[in-house]
Chain A
Amino acid sequence: MTSERGATAAQRPDPDAEPRITRLGVGGTAPGMAGAALAARIVVAAALGAQIVAMLLVGTYARRGPQLWGLPFFYWYTLLWLPVGAVAMAGCVWLLGRFPARPGQARPSRQDPPSKQDRGSVLSDRTSQPSRSGRVYRLGEHPRHDRAMLAEQRDPDAEPGQPVRPTRIERPAAPGEPSSGEGPGT
Chain B
Amino acid sequence: MTGVAADAEPGATFHGEQFTVFAVLFVAVAVVGFWASRWRRGGGGGPGATGGAGGKGGLNSLDEWGLGGRRFGGFVAWFLIGGDVFTAYTFVAVPGAMYASGAVSGWYAVAYTTMMWPIFFVIMPRMWDVARRNGFVTPADLVRGRYGSQTLALAVAVTGVVATMPYIALQLVGMQAVLEVMGVGAGSGNGFVRDLPVIVAFGVLAVCTYTAGLRAPALLAFVKDFLIYLVVAVAVVVLPHRFGGFGHIFDAAGAKFDASNAAAVAAGRRPSATLVPGSKDMLAYATLALGSAMALFLYPHSITGVLSTRSRDVIRRNAVVLPLYTVLLAFIALLGYVAIAAGVHTTNPRLAIPLLFDHEFPAWFAGVAFTAIAVGALVPAAIMSIAAANLFTRTIYVGYLRRDASAAEQTRVSKIASLLVKVGALVFVLGFDTQNSINLQLLGGVWILQTFPAVVLGLWRPRLHRWALLAGWAVGMAYGTTQAYHQHSLVAKHFGGALATVPGVGRAGYIALTAFALNLVIAVAGTLVLRAVRIPNGPDTTWDDELRPATVAEAEVPVPAQLRKAGVALLDGPVAPPPGDQPPPHADL
Contact = CB atoms under 8 A, between A and B. Distances in A.
Tell me, yes or no, whether A binds B: yes
B88 interface: no
Interface string A104-139: 111101111010001111110010011111101000
A23 B323 CA distance: 39
A85 B321 CA distance: 10
A185 B90 CA distance: 43
Interface in B88-110: 103, 107, 110
B460 to A, nearest CB: 6
B549 A121 contact: yes
Interface in A87-118: 89-90, 92-93, 96-97, 100, 103-107, 109-112, 114, 118
A67 B247 contact: yes
B550 A70 contact: no
A154 interface: no
A93 B110 CA distance: 23
Nearest to B555: A132
Nearest to B536: A117
Contacts of A69: 245-247
A8 to B, nearest CB: 11
Contacts of A177: 50, 52, 564
Which secondary structure dominates chain B's binding surface? Answer: helix
Contacts of B546: 104-105, 109, 122-123, 126
A42 B196 CA distance: 56
A162 interface: no
Nearest to A131: B554
Interface string B315-335: 011011101001100100010
Contact of A130 (B249, B275, B550, B566): B550
B248 interface: yes
A110 B545 CA distance: 10
A55 B320 contact: no
B574 A119 contact: no
B23 to A, nearest CB: 36
A132 B245 CA distance: 65
A82 B568 CA distance: 32
Interface in B309-352: 312-313, 316-317, 319-321, 323, 326-327, 330, 334
A158 interface: no
A43 interface: no
B114 A82 contact: yes
B114 A81 contact: yes
Contact of B126 (A86, A107, A120): A107
A143 interface: no
Contacts of B110: 78-79
Interface stretch (B174-182, B282-290, B358-366): B282-290
Contacts of B377: none
Contacts of A63: 276
B118 A93 contact: no
Contacts of B570: 103-104, 146, 166-169
Contacts of B242: none
Contacts of A64: 275-276
B564 A121 contact: no
B545 A58 contact: no
A111 B461 contact: yes
Nearest to B284: A58
Contacts of A174: 52-53, 558-559, 564
Interface string A151-186: 000000000000000111111011101001001101
A100 B269 CA distance: 57
Interface in A37-73: 48-49, 51-52, 55-59, 62-64, 67, 69-72
A70 B246 contact: yes
B320 A93 contact: yes
Contact of A78 (B107, B121, B320): B107
Interface size class of B (residues with CB under 8 A): 35 or more
Interface in B115-139: 115, 117-119, 121-122, 126
A26 to B, nearest CB: 11
Given A132-B554, A134-B555, A177-B564, A184 B48 contact: yes
B571 to A, nearest CB: 6
A169 B564 CA distance: 10
Given A58-B277, A126-B546, A184 B319 contact: no
Nearest to A67: B247
Given A70-B245, A118-B540, A121-B549, A168 B569 contact: yes
Contacts of A109: 545-546
B316 A93 contact: yes
B93 to A, nearest CB: 19
A169 B568 contact: yes
B119 A92 contact: no
A131 B555 CA distance: 8
A51 B114 contact: yes
A89 B53 contact: no
A62 B278 contact: yes
A85 B118 contact: yes
Nearest to A45: B122
Nearest to B462: A112
B555 A52 contact: no
Given A51-B115, A69-B246, A82-B114, A114 B568 contact: no
Given A78-B107, A85-B114, A56 B559 contact: no
A112 B276 CA distance: 47
A125 to B, nearest CB: 8
A180 B565 contact: yes
A86 B564 contact: no
Contact of A58 (B246, B286, B320, B330): B286
Nearest to B542: A119
Contacts of A132: 554-555, 559
Query: Of residues B118, B544, B554, which shows the largest number of chain A Cβ atoms within 10 Å of its Cβ?
Result: B118
Nearest to A86: B323
Contact of A184 (B316, B461, B549, B567): B567
A183 B567 contact: yes
B323 A111 contact: no
B247 A180 contact: no
B573 A89 contact: no
B118 A49 contact: yes
Contacts of B48: 184
Contacts of B290: 52, 56
Given A48-B121, A70-B245, A184 B566 contact: yes
A59 B564 contact: no
A111 B547 contact: yes
B571 A72 contact: no
Give the one of A63, A81, A89, A166 with max B CB within 10 A. Answer: A89
B327 A82 contact: yes
Contacts of B397: none
10 contacts: A59-B282, A62-B278, A62-B282, A75-B334, A104-B571, A106-B312, A106-B573, A120-B550, A130-B550, A168-B567
Given A92-B121, A92-B316, A123-B546, 9 more contacts: A48-B121, A55-B286, A58-B282, A62-B277, A82-B114, A82-B327, A93-B317, A103-B570, A130-B554
